[in-house]
Structures are given as C-alpha cells and as structure tokens.
Amino acid sequence: MAKQFMKGCEAVAEAAVLGGCRFFAGYPITPQNEIPEYMSSRLPEAGGIFIQGESEVASVNMVYGAASTGTRAMTSSSSPGISLKTEGISYLSGAKLPALIVNVSRGGPGLGSIQPAQSDYLQSTKALGHGGHRLLVFAPYTLQEAVDIAYDAFEYAERDRSPVMILMDGCLGSIMEMVDLPPMKELSNQNTQGWKVGYDGVKRGARMITSIYPEAGLESNNKNSAAMYKKWQEEDVKVEEFMLDDAEYVVVAYGIAARVAKQAIMQLRGQGCKIGLIRPITLYPFPKKSFEKLNYNNIKAFIDIEMTIPAQMYDDIDLLVRGRAPIFEYGRSGGILLDDDGVTDAIKKVTGGQA
Amino acid sequence: MMEKIYSRPNCIVPMQSGYCPGCLHSTATKIIAEVIDELGQGHNVINVLPVGCSSMGLLYWKIDMVGSAHGRAPAVATGIKRSRPDSLVFTYQGDGDLAAIGLAEILSAANRGEKFTVIFANNSTYGMTGGQMAPTTLIGQKSTTSKKGRDAETAGHPIKMCELIKELAAPVFVARYTLNNPQNIRKAKQGIKKAFQYQLDGKGFSFVELLTNCPTNWGVEPLDSLKYMEENTMKYFEQKVFKDEEESK
Ligand SMILES: Cc1ncc(C[n+]2csc(CCOP(=O)(O)OP(=O)(O)O)c2C)c(N)n1
Ligand code: SF4
Ligand SMILES: [Mg+2]
C-alpha cells in the first residue's frame, strides 16, 4: 500500500485505474474536471485509452462501445452532465454492460451552481434513465472510502453485468486527504469471456450485444433484473451504524453531510444527548435492515440531513419508519455548505435543546 | 454438372428477409455481407447497429454486432475501435439516425479521424417510424409531417452529408453511391470494399453514403421508387468520390 496525499477527483481516478480501468471518455464540467484531466495522462501510461468526447452523450456511448469489448470503462461528470448520460446508462443496463459512472454532484436544478450539493439522490437511486433499471449506487464520505469503492467497482459491474455509480459531491471531489492506494489489479481474471465482442484468435459463433429484445425476452430480462435487485438488498448493502444502541435520536445522512453530522453527533454525545447515525454507503440498495432492527420504543425522532433542499432521501426513510417516530429534515443547498454549527443547532431544535 | 456461380454470403443468416418488398436496405445488407466475405473478415468484423429500419441487419448478419442508441453509433464505434484496433468496425446508419439526432456524433468521429467505416443509408425518410420528414427529404417531397411537401422556408434544404464530411481534414475516403440498378450496386460495393480495405490498412475515417428508397413510406411501387430516385434523389445528391486519400497523393 502506498500512502499519498491526494485530491478527491484524482484519488478516485487513480483507484479506478488500479482497479483495472483502461478506457475513459468524458466531457469537461466543474467540479469534476480533475478526473478527465488526470485520466488524460494516467491512462496512456497504464496502456489505456482516454478520449475527450464531444458531449456527455457521446462519452457515455464511447464507454458503452469499449465495455462491449470487455474493456473496463469509465466516465465521470457532474449533475447536468449526468442528466445527459442517463440515456446511455439506460442502454448500458439494457445491454447488460459493466461500466463505472462517477457523479461529482453540484447544485441544481438546471445549470444550478458549480458549488457542491447533494441534489442528485433521487436521480441516482430511482431514475438514471428510462426503463426502470437500477444501479448499485455508492456514496463514500472519505477519500479512502471512495478509493476502496472505486477499486472494486468493476468487479461488481462484471459480476452483475450492470453499470455501477459512485455519487460523491463537489466537496469530496475537491478536498485533499491521505489515502492508501492498493496495488494494480491483474486483469486476467476478468469475467467477460462469455459475452464480449471482438475476435480473440479463436473462431466462434457471432455475438450480439443489444438492449432490444422480443417481448418475451425483454420480460424475462426484466424479471432477472428484479431478482438481482432483491439479491443486492440481501447481500450488497453497505452502511455505517454509529452510536445507535441507546439512541433516542437518529440522524440519517450520507456522503459529506454524514461527515458533518458525525462531528455534531460526537459533540452532542459529549453533552449527554443520546443520538446516533445511520449512514447509507450504498444509496441503492438502501440499508433497510438498519431501520428495521431499531428499538422504536426508544426513538423520539429521526433527522434527515442532506446538502440539498428539500431532502430527497426523506421518502425512503419514511417508508421504513412507517409513522413510528417523527422525521425532521435539515439541509443547505445551492452550493451553500453544511457546517458544524448549523447542523448542531438544527439537531438541537429537534431534541428540544436537550443536551 | 452445373457450375455454382452465385450463393448466399456466409455472413448472412439463411432466412427470409423482413424488409418491405423492394426495399434497398436489403440490397445494402447483402453487398456489405459479400464484401466482408470477400475480404475474409467474417470472424473479425464488428458492426454497430443504429435505430431504424437500418438496424434490421441484426436479424440477418451473422457477425459480431453491438446495438446502439439512436444516432450514437459513431460514439459506440469509437469506443469499440479504440479498444480493438485490429477489428474491422463499421456502423450502418439511416439518415434520421445519422443526419439529425446523431449529427454531433458523426461529425465529431469523422473530425477525430476515428479509424472505422460509416455506411450511411439515405432513403430521405424516417422509415421505421412511418415516413416523417427527414433532414434529407427533398424539397417538395411529401411525408407524414410535410404533407404538402418539404418547404425550404421552414424546414431548410436537404442536408448533404458527404459534402460536409469531405471538408474535414481527417477522413480518408468519402463517397456517395446509389443502389438504383445493378451497375450502380456494383460500384457501391467496390466503394464499400475500398473503405474497408483502407480501414484494414490502418488508415483513417471512411464514409460511404448509399442512396436508397422506402417504397412503403414514399407510397409508391418498388419500381416507381427507383424511377423517383433517378428523377429526383440522384439529381440532388451527386454520386461521386468526394475524397480519396490515395488518389490525392
Ligand atoms: C431517442 C429516440 N428518438 C426517437 C426514436 C424513434 N425512432 C426509431 S427509428 C427512427 C428513425 C429512423 O430513421 P432513419 O435513421 O432514417 O432509418 P430508416 O428507418 O429510414 O432506415 C426514430 C426517430 C428512438 N428510437 N429513439
Ligand atoms: S419501411 Fe421503408 S426503409 Fe423500412 S423496410 Fe420498409 S421500405 Fe425499407
Ligand atoms: Mg431513413
């Protein structure tokens, strides 16, 4: 392991390369430009290919092409660009192609703001394009966690033949932290032999990669996806449960918001407040079990803290809490960041200043 | 003993064609298959399918194929060819696909000089969706969204893709052919072969436009559609080699 002091965007890009990424296509947009910039010199060094596409639409389709040859392929963007990529993401899902998509999100809707925000939760978890497909969506809250997720992302993608998303807001993309970089992965055990296109020296029957199917084939694909999503819920949920044992107040937050919330929680604990945190690391599948196993006799309230207004995770929490405790929300948006004092005060309002 | 002088190309699936009677997509599908066979590339070719009647090759070609979103085939082919530089990669795209929704992708791939081949089937209409006006529909030509005929005042003039692409520095071969009769079909086939050969030789982007028909949506008999092509389409869209790197040397 090599320890390095790195910026978020570059750390994720490097981890993807170490995890086997050999193709990147992307289009400039703030605050993720450091990813394509890094890839433009790093990938050729690693024997890979970098292309600056003419748009996000083209870039994600270049990734689609590269992925169809079994090449580990990635694209990144920020919110408005991800909207354009959703067409391609839907096709990647439909054609069962592995790929990695990173969203370094910013304020919205529309052109919004180039400043960090967590305004793409609903898009990431519910609707990355038409057709009802889902992606594994990871939301790291430190650069080390981002590195670890990016490093293994292609294994998930190839296991499932399904694209994977990492959602990290502009804060994570821009901060610098120490990270442990793992070693370069061997590509020999890639799980793509049975379906990728292109001649490999052995003659075989013709292959087709497509997202168009006759009706029965499409329905059976949809059923397989449904089963896969259920399996994700059973096997792939990642979550951090922090100080929940005796908690009367439960904060729910992910990514940068969880990082700020955790500070506030530790401070409030110091003042005697029984408060804990559920931090989804996979936003999809959502950590349902963490909510199911809570002792609702103890719980006085939930506080959903997100760097967006209105809170977008709220409905997912509401479905699990089912009226057993009130749910409050607090957020900042538009590129205005959450800070310790704001979050602490918002929590205190709910706890009645108790502390 | 009778001598066998003609047979189905190896990379065509032995089944009945589902193209409408008289549709020149079927002729194009066949001559492309013949060229692939003649170059001995059946095992090494990857076709990128568009969206349109032009994508029905997915039923008939027996080669590796990748289906793309509407208009995006050149971007998909870029990803494929860069990852597999030794494969023979081509797109086969209709005029709605290539000259409307996919304009950015085709011009950018051509401008980057991506080393694959685009075969562009121009039938002056959106065939698959039922005959709406395409960017290539002729002035005065009727369609379901230009019932009185295309009006240049509001719809502009039919777009000439070869003439646009030949102006870019990178492409090595740009040519337009027509499939209205056997002689012209043979010329078109030679053009496709040249484009593929250039690609196999590691040269840059090649673009072959084929003037085709759509008897169903033009609302005419197959033979009359050929007559329409001769009297109208072929007069507007000049058939020639616009750019050939070899010859300009
Ligand atoms: C994003 C998107 N928009 C529209 C369509 C509908 N559509 C399917 S085929 C087609 C037109 C195809 O026309 P062309 O490319 O000229 O091919 P042809 O059928 O004439 O061969 C359209 C608009 C689509 N599939 N996807
Ligand atoms: S609708 Fe037109 S383009 Fe499509 S198969 Fe029929 S004749 Fe050919
Ligand atoms: Mg057409």
Residues A202 and A58 occupy one common structural domain = yes
Place B242 in a pLDDT band, splitting at 50, 70 and 90: very high
Residues 6 or more apart whose CB falls under 8 angstroms from that of A318 comprise A327
Residues A280 and A347 occupy one common structural domain = yes
Place A189 in a pLDDT band, splitting at 50, 70 and 90: confident
Q: Write down which residue in A235, A266, A281 finishes a domain.
A: A235
The pLDDT assigned to B29 comes to 98
Task: Convert the pLDDT of each residue in A236-286 to its tens digit.
Answer: 999 999 999 999 999 999 999 999 999 999 999 999 999 999 999 999 999
Mean pLDDT of chain A: 97
Q: Write down which residue in A235, A256, A291 finishes a domain.
A: A235
Nearest Cβ partner for B64 among A62, A65, A197:
A197
Does a structural domain hold residue B146? yes
Stretch B136-145: mean pLDDT: 98
Stretch A41-65: mean pLDDT: 98
Give the CATH number for residue B95: 3.40.50.970
Reduce the secondary structure of B34-66 to three states and give it as a string: HHHHHCCCCCCEEEEECCCHHHCHHHHECCEEE
Task: Convert the pLDDT of each residue in A120-174 to its tens digit.
Answer: 999 999 999 999 999 999 999 999 999 999 999 999 999 999 999 999 999 999 9
Residues 6 or more apart whose CB falls under 8 angstroms from that of B111 comprise B168, B169, B170
pLDDT at B201 over 80: yes
Stretch B191-219: mean pLDDT: 98
Task: Convert the pLDDT of each residue in A191-231 to its tens digit.
Answer: 899 999 999 999 999 999 999 999 899 999 999 999 999 99
Stretch A56-83: mean pLDDT: 98
Residues A99 and A149 occupy one common structural domain = yes
Distance CA A120, CA B176 (A): 46
Residues A271 and A183 occupy one common structural domain = no
The pTM (predicted TM-score) of the whole model is: 0.97
The pLDDT assigned to B43 comes to 97
Distance CA A140, CA A122 (A): 17
The interface predicted TM-score (ipTM) is: 0.96
Tell me which residue has tokens 């969203």: A103
pLDDT at A353 over 80: no
Residues A122 and A105 occupy one common structural domain = yes
Ion ligand 3: residues, CB within 5 A, are B 94-95, 123, 127
Q: Which atom of ligand 2 is nearest to the CA of B24?
A: 8
Segments in chain A forming alpha helices (H): 8-18, 34-45, 56-68, 79-94, 121-126, 143-160, 170-174, 215-235, 255-270, 288-292, 314-321, 340-351
Residues A228 and A244 occupy one common structural domain = no
User: What tokens appear for B69 in the block?
Assistant: 């979103």
Residues with CB under 6 A from ligand 2: B 19-20, 23, 25, 53, 123, 127-128, 214-217
Stretch A81-100: mean pLDDT: 98
CB atoms within 10 A of CB A79: 27
Distance CA B233, CA B138 (A): 7
Q: Write down which residue in A178, A208, A235 finishes a domain.
A: A235
Residues A201 and A289 occupy one common structural domain = no
- Residue from B85, B80, B17, B29 nearest B54 by CA: B29
What is the Cα B123 distance to its own chain's centre?
9
> Domain of B49?
25-244
Residues A230 and A255 occupy one common structural domain = no
The continuous run of DSSP H or E covering B184 comes out as helix B182-200
pLDDT at B32 over 50: yes
The continuous run of DSSP H or E covering B111 comes out as helix B103-112
Give the CATH number for residue A57: 3.40.50.970
Stretch A22-34: mean pLDDT: 98
Domain count, chain A: 2
Tell me which residue has tokens 């002091």: A5
Residues A205 and A279 occupy one common structural domain = no
Place A355 in a pLDDT band, splitting at 50, 70 and 90: very low
Integer-rounded Cα Rg, in Å, for chain B is 17
Residues A215 and A315 occupy one common structural domain = no
**Which of A55, A59, A64 best probes binding to B when mutated, by most B CB atoms within 10 angstroms?**
A64
> Domain of A198?
2-235
Does a structural domain hold residue B11? no
User: What tokens appear for A304 in the block?
Assistant: 């959903």
Does a structural domain hold residue B61? yes
Residues A13 and A162 occupy one common structural domain = yes
Place A188 in a pLDDT band, splitting at 50, 70 and 90: confident
Does a structural domain hold residue B119? yes
Give the CATH number for residue A252: 3.40.50.920
HSE at residue B129, side-chain half, CA atoms within 13 A, is 16
Nearest Cβ partner for A61 among B49, B65, B69:
B69
Burial class (CB within 10 angstroms; exposed 0-12, middle 13-18, buried 19+) of B34: middle
